[in-house]
Each structure stands twice: as C-alpha cells, then as structure tokens.
Amino acid sequence: MVTMDDVEQSQSARWVDMRKVVDGPLPDIAARLSAFLGTRSHDALVIFTRECTGRPRKVAGKKDVVARVTIEELEAIKESLELGTSCDSEAVLAGSKHRIWAVRDLSDILLVMVPTHLRATLSLEEVAAMFGLVAMAIHHQVAQASPDYLAESRAASSERARTIVELTGVHEATLSTILGTLRSRDLDDRRARITASETASAALTSLRSTSAVDRELSEEAVTTAFARLQGELGPLLKFQEVDVEYAAPPADGRPLPGEVAVAARAMVRAVVLACCAQPALDRLRIAWDCDGENVLLEIRDNGPGSIDSNALSLQLMGRLRTLRGQLEVDSIPGWGNCVKLTLPLDPPAARPDEHLLSSLNPREMEVLGHLAEGKRNRTIADELGVTQSTIKFHVASVLRKLEVANRGEAAAVAIRAGVVSTGSAGAGHLVAARG
C-alpha cells in the first residue's frame, strides 16, 4: 500500500534529482536531463542555444542521430515555434524525418526529443515545464560566465575553427585538383567533364558554406555584434523618455570571439539599465571601438551622476573576472556618469587553481579577496555588513572548495590567481587583475 509519506518522499527525491541536472557542468547538461527523463523514453535529446557560442548543441542519445543533427535543422524547428510553446510533430532531424517533441523556452533555448514508441511516462507539458528550469540554469551559467564554462566554450570554439580550417584546406586542394584534371583538354568526354565539374563546384560551395556557418557561431563581426545590441536595447528603452545616441565601431574592426560578443552586449545592457534607474535622465550615448587587442565599450549619460557603482561592479564581476576585463566608473554629481569597459579579444592565459576558483559563488569570492589581504573574520564581517558566524561559514566553504587546509593556503591561491579585494567599508567587491 502506497502512503502519502511514500508519495512525498518520492516527489522530494525527484526534486533532488532535478537539482543535480541543473547544478552540474554545462557541457553535460543534456546527458543529465536525458537520464532524469529516462533514457528509454527517447532515442535522442538535443538542447540548442546560440548563447553557448562554443558548443551550441548539447546532445544525448543514439550517436547515429545526435552526431548528424545540423544547426540548420535546429534553426528550422525553432523558427516553427513561438516563444514559450511546444509541439508534437514531424520534422527533419539528422537528415531524415522523425517524430519529435520540441520545446522553445521563453529564454529562446530549444529542446528537441525523438520519443520512443514505448508508453511515455511523462507528457509533453511536463517535459516543457521541467525544461524551463534547465533553460533557466543554462541562461544563468552563460550570464555569470564562470571560468569553467568560458574555458570549455572557448576551447570548443578554437578546436572547431582549427578543424574547419584544416578540412577546408584539404578539401579545397583535392577538389581543385579534380577540377583541373577534368578541365584538361586531353579529355574528350565533354559531357562527363561538365557533369563532374558541376558536382565538384557544388561540393566546394557547400564546404565553404559550412565553414561560414560554423565561423558565424564562433565569432561575430564587431559591427554585427553592435547591431544586435541595438536590437536588444530597443525593447528595454521603448518606454524610457531617453534620447539614445549610438556610436558604431569601425567596419574593419577585428571580429569578436562569440563569448566576448555575448558578454559585451550583456554588460552594456546592465549598465544601460543602471543608468535608466536614475531620475531626470534624458540623454544616453553608447559607443563601441576596437584597438586590435580589446573591444572598448563606453556608456555616457547626462543624469544626476548617482549611479550605484558598487552594485554595478558586483553585477558585472562574474564576466569581468573571467574575461580579465576592466571596468571604470566615473560619476560627477550634477553632470552625469561615464562607464568604460575593456574586454580582451584573445583568450586569457590559464591561471593556477582556476578550476577550483570556478566552484566559488560570488560571496565566497568576496571573502577570498579579503583573505588574500590577511583580514580576520571580524574585519571582513564589518566590511561586508554581516555577522562573524556568517563569515566563518563562508571561510569554511572556501577552504573546502579550494581543497586547502587553512586561511594562508587559501590566500596563496587567491594571490596566484590574481584575485584581490577592492571593497571599502560597506562595499566588498572584487576585481581580477589582468594577466
């Protein structure tokens, strides 16, 4: 006999399992979701989001299906759905028609499943609801840009770009040789020559097109990134009585790695929202530029000069720390604010213990910065406005996550990684020194 306690325990265990799905490393999230839903309920599962520029497809299931799924197929499925909707239909996937369950979350992240013919234990509506949590976790990880996510994403982008260049060179050389041979006057089978030439030419076009599609995922022209920013800011500023001036970057500026382009837009949006939170703001200027090594972002306003620089620094710190970026906030009461962001275009050099640092949450990173300065618990508590027992709890968590025995060893990890505290009384935030 099943009791209410049994049901409640089962539901509790189910939520614990769901937390494991959303709480692990981003590259393996599709495999964890597949296991959670039950591998017998589907043959293949694909999560698709362009936010993850290094690895936009996260897959689980039969390799003969998931290995052949293309970006074009996923884009077509996504475009057939409105935001926040799902469908049970047929679609082309991995080169052939399949019955699919598709969910396009409000965050614009897509889930595609190929259900089995076995009796489903879950409905499409239940899957859509659960995927909402997964999509939120993906969006959060990308927004926070933790070091482990960024390192994996950049490694995937670099490896894909390198492979594409190699394959393109090999195939171009091979196909060009075929074309040269078939165009030779020594061959008299004219029709065969024409047919083979057309086939080889089509193959070259297809190959170059594939290269362009993957290159688009791994990098963006700086002008394209800026145009997308304008499109994203439109809805945010629609009901603001603010005159916005956009100063576009030079058209010949260096392309931005996908991760940098996403981060740049997200950080500018955050700054714009902070500026618009001030009273009596009627003018805003947003400018982008490139110096060959960095993308330079500048946001100016004519507000009262009362932007909350500490809150803005904390909000942007995850991305700044990971990208080795720099932030300058200059506020003059009565005259306005100027916020400048500098983001390096080249991947940062690997830092000692960075894989361990990525496990710390923002508050633990703050505490670690203060430990690097040799501060005691009472001082840290006073500066962060919390109790000593709270700091003691955070310190214990930092030691455990960094796999060190004492505060001194934790401070050494922080110093080697370039983590320092810049918090003054009442405002403890971190900056990461550029390597």
Query: Looking at the domain assignment, is residue 61 inside a domain?
Result: yes
Whether residue 193 sits in one domain with residue 100 = no
The strand pairing partners of 61, in sequence order, are 44
- Over residues 16-30, the mean pLDDT reads 81
Residue with tokens 């019955």: 99
Residue with tokens 């996260």: 58
Query: Looking at the domain assignment, is residue 114 inside a domain?
Result: yes
State the first-to-last Cα distance of the chain, in angstroms, to the nearest integer.
63
Is the confidence at residue 146, as pLDDT, over 60?
A: no
Whether residue 377 sits in one domain with residue 428 = yes
User: What's the CA gap between 343 and 321, in Å, rounded?
Assistant: 10
Whether residue 334 sits in one domain with residue 270 = yes
Query: Looking at the domain assignment, is residue 387 inside a domain?
Result: yes
User: H helices within 238-347, ranges in order?
Assistant: 258-276, 309-323
The CATH number linked to 367 is 1.10.10.10
CB 297 within 8 A of CB 247: no
Whether residue 160 sits in one domain with residue 256 = no
The full DSSP string for 357-388 is HTTS-HHHHHHHHHHHTT--HHHHHHHHTS-H
Which pTM value belongs to this model?
A: 0.48
- Over residues 218-232, the mean pLDDT reads 86
pLDDT of residue 46: 94
Degrees to nearest 5, angle at CA 67 with 61 and 68 = 120
Whether residue 239 sits in one domain with residue 158 = no
Percent of the chain with pLDDT strictly greater than 70? 71
Percent of the chain with pLDDT strictly greater than 90? 25
Whether residue 193 sits in one domain with residue 99 = no
Write down which residue in 217, 250, 268 finishes a domain.
217
CA distances from 394 to 3, 85, 363 (A): 40, 41, 8
The CATH number linked to 30 is 3.30.450
pLDDT of residue 245: 94
In this prediction, residue 213 has a pLDDT band, given cuts at 50, 70 and 90, of very low
User: What's the CA gap between 56 and 29, in Å, rounded?
Assistant: 12
In this prediction, residue 1 has a pLDDT band, given cuts at 50, 70 and 90, of low
- Over residues 191-207, the mean pLDDT reads 63
How confident is the model over 394-425, as pLDDT tens digits? Answer: 999 999 888 888 998 888 888 777 676 654 33
Whether residue 125 sits in one domain with residue 157 = no
Whether residue 173 sits in one domain with residue 107 = no
Write down which residue in 217, 234, 269 finishes a domain.
217
pLDDT of residue 327: 93
- Computed over every residue of the chain, the mean pLDDT equals 78
Beta-carbon count within 10 A of 219 CB: 22
Range of the domain at 13: 4-144
How confident is the model over 292-350, as pLDDT tens digits? Answer: 899 999 999 998 888 888 888 888 877 787 778 899 999 888 889 999 999 998 865 55
pLDDT of residue 88: 93
In this prediction, residue 249 has a pLDDT band, given cuts at 50, 70 and 90, of very high
Q: What values do phi and psi take at 329, rounded to 5?
A: -120, 120
Degrees to nearest 5, angle at CA 175 with 174 and 177 = 65
Tokens linked to 230: 């304008």
Is the confidence at residue 202, as pLDDT, over 80?
A: no
How confident is the model over 343-353, as pLDDT tens digits? Answer: 998 865 555 56
Whether residue 28 sits in one domain with residue 15 = yes
Write down which residue in 344, 363, 397 finishes a domain.
344
The CATH number linked to 328 is 3.30.565.10
Whether residue 318 sits in one domain with residue 234 = yes
Whether residue 238 sits in one domain with residue 322 = yes
Segment (H or E) for 215: helix 190-218
Residue with tokens 């946001």: 299
Which residue spans within 178-321 are E strands per DSSP? 219-220, 243-247, 256-257, 283-290, 294-301
DSSP state of 348: P
Q: Which residues contact 400 (CB under 8 A, 6 or more apart)?
A: none
How confident is the model over 35-87, as pLDDT tens digits? Answer: 998 878 889 999 998 776 667 888 999 988 888 888 889 999 999 999 999 99
In this prediction, residue 204 has a pLDDT band, given cuts at 50, 70 and 90, of low
User: What's the CA gap between 431 and 426, in Å, rounded?
Assistant: 16
Whether residue 159 sits in one domain with residue 90 = no
The total of structural domains in the chain comes to 4
pLDDT of residue 114: 93
Query: Looking at the domain assignment, is residue 349 inside a domain?
Result: no
CB 267 within 8 A of CB 297: yes
